[in-house]
Structure 1
Amino acid sequence: MPETPVPRVAVLVAVYNGLPYVQEAIQSILDQTFRDFELIVVDDASTDETPSALERFRRLDPRVRVLRMAANGGPVLAANHGLAEVRAPLVARLDADDVCRPDRLALQVAAFDRQPELVLLGSAFDYIDATGRVVGEGHPPLEDAALQATLMDSGNPFCHPSVLMRTEALRSLGGYRQVLNPYGLDYDLCLRMAELGKVGNLPQRLIGYRIHPGQITVTKMQPQLRSAQLYRALARQRRSGRPEDLPLAHADPAESPARLRAALAAGSVFWADMLERVGAPDRARQLRWEAVRASPWHPQVRAMAWVGFKRTLGWGRTA
């Protein structure tokens, strides 16, 4: 039996109990105007009807490959299991609850063709609610210099479901890894990829990033931010020519408890606003209180309090 030709792009999706959104995510890949790809879906031992949904797609489109983990192992094992099966020179990521614009792969592949020094390319994105309604926009920096600075200063400027990466570069790093906890793994990967070559973002909003109260960014914000501190500290060590030293990274004075509290306050304010937009006011209210507890004098917390005070008094309301 002849071997299937190697595609230009592999799209890698890891999913655990992905209903009701995983079908929309997969369809958004199959609807791409760029056709030379294969879709590798790693089912991390789902217990809902996700396996049946994936099997229907596999039967309908020969570009869909479904891999099933024997037991739930988490995002690192699932992503690396899929990465081991990638044959294409470029690998794209997508989360099981997000969606792609039809020209996503076409635009990103063209950018890689123009810029051989690129190792990772993301894009601007939309925030969407459960129905796909756009509730906000994300416009991260576009150029390598600004992205490198943001990575080392404040956080991850990449919407990970939007990234396209060179497979060889990704494999040279050993793929994804977990150092502290299961959170912030994409940030660690982007920091490491950015040390291998140029990174970038396209200005077009190519991804619909879904907002819901149960997402890890909301429910596990503090451990995610703490892992981000550790990954930045490790990156400083590597970028100064030193080997990674976990005990020293944990004690890095640049990643202080005060910085963690400030990041937690700012993140809580941001996600409270987003959850309000998608119709989750109770969870938004909880996040606002978490912001106050984390850092009551943080500028964004004070601004939030001022807005709430004006609403209480009825200021700014129109007749």
Structure 2
Amino acid sequence: MDTKTKPHISIVLPVYTGMAYLQQSVESVLNQDDSDFDFEFLICDDCSKDDSYTYLSSITDTRVKLFRNEKNKGLFPTLNFLIKNASADLLHLWAQDDVMLKNCLKETIKFHQEFPEVKFSFSRLQGIDASGNLLKRPDTFKNKTLSVQDHAVSSLLYGSIAGNIANVCLVKEDCKEVGYFDESMIYVGDFKMWCVLSKETPIGMNGNILVNVRQHTGQLSRNLDASFYRLKENYGVYQCFLSTLNPELRKQLNKTIKWKIYTTYVNQYLFILKSKKFDLAKRYVEELKKYDNINSIFFKWIIIRLLRFFRLEQKFYEFRFYKKIRSLKQNN
């Protein structure tokens, strides 16, 4: 790559103690089909406790720019550092466990050329297990965009629509404009970013499978403390998405998530109690009180459990909430 020419796309990879899959992940980026474009690959080691930095230091490919934090800073501060140091207008986020298909970057660039109005896009992803075996294949579809309203409704009812960071591409200038990732967050800073980037413009949905995302027990979010921090951080994200909706639709979605989403936290609370983490359980309940009246949450949870037992849960949601949501969306 000519160092005087801005690359078409920058790949940014935060690394922390990821040597188990890191080499495969890095090589999948370096082996991209890049005959029609230039890219740079920015990697920052966040004070790994294994041989990750030793391996990264051995890479001689000139497309790689390697950094290392002086102290451990966490995912979102490290992502922000890399984004600020990237040269390209497009930024493909990357993860140390995952594998890029050879056409990933080419198809991502083509997508943003086709839909220049979007501030971020995501592609379909294929799950793989710890050994790299393919899991259930997702459906593919024609490239398209999703409106601000539909993105907010989907995110509130079903969670982060991208599902990961490794299949996401951001426009650097837009990322800068909204103030980068929220560094006060540990787990859902990406979910919040998808909200703030989609408050005024649609999001891009690349219907092709471009990434293999690994599912294994060593991932960041799989522990009891993580469940507490996700509860603590998710509330603000829900409010962010609700704020993008018109008053009637916002009111209806607020009612819906009190039944459909907030009650699911009771399951995690009970699991924490079962694990005899009583101090964590106490803090969990205190945080849950910010969502709604605690007695109301538990009452709704009991009703949902009964409905599920009689296989009436989905019919309840459809009759009580979904029909009204569809009607309000159509009338907007």
Normalised to the residue count of structure 2, the TM-score between the two structures is 0.70
User: Is it true that 1:167 corresponds to 2:172 in the alignment?
Assistant: yes
C-alpha contact (below 8 Å) 2:152/2:244 kept by paired residues? no
Residue among 175, 194, 213 paired with 1:190: 194
Letter of the 1:224 partner, please give it. Answer: R
**Residues 277-302 of structure 1: CA distance to partner in whole angstroms, max 9, x if unpaired?**
xxxxxxxxxxxxxxxxx878287788
Matches within 5 A, 1:284-295: none
Letter of the 2:220 partner, please give it. Answer: I
What secondary structure is seen at the aligned counterpart in 2 of 1:202?
A: strand
Letter of the 2:100 partner, please give it. Answer: C
User: Is it true that 1:223 corresponds to 2:225 in the alignment?
Assistant: no
> 1:115 Cα deviation (Å)?
1.4
Matches within 5 A, 1:55-94: 55-57=57-59, 59=60, 61-94=61-94
For residues 3 and 32 of structure 1, the distance between their equivalents in structure 2, rounded to whole angstroms, comes to 19
Residue among 208, 227, 248 paired with 2:212: 208
2:53 maps to what in 1?
Answer: 51
**Residues 141-196 of structure 1: CA distance to partner in whole angstroms, max 9, x if unpaired?**
963134343124331100321011111001111211144x4111110111111124
For residues 115 and 176 of structure 2, the distance between their equivalents in structure 1, rounded to whole angstroms, comes to 20
**Residues 109-139 of structure 1: CA distance to partner in whole angstroms, max 9, x if unpaired?**
1011111112111111111111211122345
1:107 maps to what in 2?
Answer: 107
**Residues 10-65 of structure 1: CA distance to partner in whole angstroms, max 9, x if unpaired?**
000001111111111111111111351000001111121011111122x2x10000
C-alpha contact (below 8 Å) 1:75/1:182 kept by paired residues? yes
C-alpha contact (below 8 Å) 2:156/2:257 kept by paired residues? no
For residues 3 and 204 of structure 1, the distance between their equivalents in structure 2, rounded to whole angstroms, comes to 31
For residues 74 and 82 of structure 1, the distance between their equivalents in structure 2, rounded to whole angstroms, comes to 13
What secondary structure is seen at the aligned counterpart in 1 of 2:123?
A: strand
Between 1:108-117 and 1:138-147, the stretch displaced more is 138-147
**Residues 237-283 of structure 1: CA distance to partner in whole angstroms, max 9, x if unpaired?**
46679xxxxxxxxxx887659733326759xxxxxxxxxxxxxxxxx
What secondary structure is seen at the aligned counterpart in 2 of 1:161?
A: coil
For residues 308 and 55 of structure 2, the distance between their equivalents in structure 1, rounded to whole angstroms, comes to 43
For residues 301 and 143 of structure 1, the distance between their equivalents in structure 2, rounded to whole angstroms, comes to 38
Matches within 5 A, 1:1-319: 3-34=3-34, 35-57=37-59, 59=60, 61-139=61-139, 143-145=145-147, 146-158=150-162, 159-179=164-184, 181-219=185-223, 220-237=226-243, 256=258, 259-262=261-264, 297=305
Q: How many residues align?
A: 263
2:290 maps to what in 1?
Answer: none
For residues 237 and 307 of structure 2, the distance between their equivalents in structure 1, rounded to whole angstroms, comes to 26
For residues 199 and 255 of structure 2, the distance between their equivalents in structure 1, rounded to whole angstroms, comes to 23
Q: Which runs of 5+ in 1 are unaligned?
A: 242-251, 267-293, 304-319
C-alpha contact (below 8 Å) 1:144/1:200 kept by paired residues? yes
For residues 108 and 196 of structure 2, the distance between their equivalents in structure 1, rounded to whole angstroms, comes to 20
**Residues 177-226 of structure 1: CA distance to partner in whole angstroms, max 9, x if unpaired?**
144x4111110111111124221221211111111112133322453254
What secondary structure is seen at the aligned counterpart in 2 of 1:28?
A: helix
C-alpha contact (below 8 Å) 1:265/1:301 kept by paired residues? no
Letter of the 1:169 partner, please give it. Answer: D
Shift in CA distance, 6/56, structure 1 to aligned 2, threshold 3 Å: same
For residues 214 and 206 of structure 2, the distance between their equivalents in structure 1, rounded to whole angstroms, comes to 19
Letter of the 1:54 partner, please give it. Answer: L
Q: Which runs of 5+ in 2 are unaligned?
A: 248-253, 269-300, 312-332
2:330 maps to what in 1?
Answer: none
Shift in CA distance, 8/300, structure 1 to aligned 2, threshold 3 Å: farther
For residues 29 and 157 of structure 1, the distance between their equivalents in structure 2, rounded to whole angstroms, comes to 24
Letter of the 1:200 partner, please give it. Answer: G
Shift in CA distance, 131/113, structure 1 to aligned 2, threshold 3 Å: same
For residues 139 and 210 of structure 1, the distance between their equivalents in structure 2, rounded to whole angstroms, comes to 18
What secondary structure is seen at the aligned counterpart in 2 of 1:207?
A: strand
For residues 81 and 167 of structure 1, the distance between their equivalents in structure 2, rounded to whole angstroms, comes to 12
C-alpha contact (below 8 Å) 2:174/2:197 kept by paired residues? yes
